[in-house]
Amino acid sequence: MKDLASTPVLILAGGKATRLGEVTKTIPKALVPLAGRPFIDHQLEELHEQGIREVVMCVGHFADQLREYVGDGARFGLRVRYSDDGETLRGTGGAVRRALPLVGDGCFVLYGDSILDVSYASAFTRLPHNALGLMTVFHNENSFDTSNVVFHNGRLLRYSKQDATPDMTHIDYGLSLLRRAAIERIPAGQPCDLAELYSALVASGEMVGFEVTNRFYEIGSPAGLREAEEFVMRRAG
């Protein structure tokens, strides 16, 4: 990965968003209204402001609507390309693996329902040459969701979404940076969760942690949508 501008951000936007109920019966989560505009507008504009220029949208559910709305990304000052799950949703890991031809030497991975208050440039510079991945982490103490990370003295020691332990005081913040060699470890052609790769990389010492201090926002639930909207309106005004 040479520089920030040429490193793509993969946005995982293929899920069905069932927790939002009627809101997502006819539109994908990325097009849910937030502060009067589709959610994806806020994500893409933030990426451009951060110095990102390349985006790959991993799509699946209602993919055609997203393609039609976002297009090639030019109006956001970005180049947007697409990786489609096809008829079978592949999970977060499968979607990232399917996008491998579009990622070059590596990429950021961003959840498609997240609004983050983090410096992409800072995260980019914190990936050591001998590491395959970087995970942003937040000192959560189960506040905004279940903590899933053991992060101590600047070191990422354990990550698990299934096996929570009392020493998990941090949470996966929602932005990671992966080298191509890490993505190649995901089994091709089958559904899987990206958490499986992350857990393995952390256990082998090949993934580092980058701690952020500002909370994350997500639109995966009605309550989260309300909080995210309040944050966006505060930041705008």
Structure confidence at residue 33 (pLDDT): 93
pLDDT category at 189 given cuts 50, 70, 90 is confident
Task: Please compute the mean of the pLDDT values over residues 142-160 and round it to a whole number.
Answer: 94
Q: Are strands 217-218 and 114-115 parallel, antiparallel or unpaired?
A: antiparallel
Mean model confidence pLDDT for the chain = 93
Task: Identify the pLDDT of residue 18.
Answer: 67
Mean pLDDT confidence for 129-147: 94
Over residues 36-73, the pLDDT tens digits come to 999 999 999 999 999 999 999 999 889 999 999 999 99
Q: What is the model's pLDDT at position 76?
A: 98
pLDDT in tens, 81-124: 999 987 777 899 999 999 999 999 999 999 999 999 999 999 99
pLDDT the model gives residue 17: 65
Percent of the chain with pLDDT over 90: 81
Question: Look-up: residue for tokens 């697409």?
Answer: 82
Q: Say what the pLDDT of residue 220 is.
A: 84
- Burial of residue 86, with CB atoms counted within 10 A of its CB: 0-12 exposed, 13-18 middle, 19 or more buried: exposed
Amino acid at 199: S
pLDDT of residue 67: 96
Task: Enumerate the H helices of 32-139 as residue ranges.
Answer: 39-49, 63-70, 91-98, 120-125
The pLDDT-based confidence of 190 (bands split at 50, 70, 90) is confident
Question: Quick one: pLDDT band at residue 233, thresholds 50, 70, 90?
Answer: very high
The domain ranges of the chain are: 9-236
Please report, rounded to a whole number, the percentage of residues in the chain having pLDDT higher than 70: 99
Q: How far is CA 177 from the centre of its chain?
A: 9
Q: Which helix (H) or strand (E) holds 82?
A: strand 79-84
Which strand (E) or helix (H) includes residue 150? strand 149-152
Name the class of domain 9-236. Answer: alpha beta
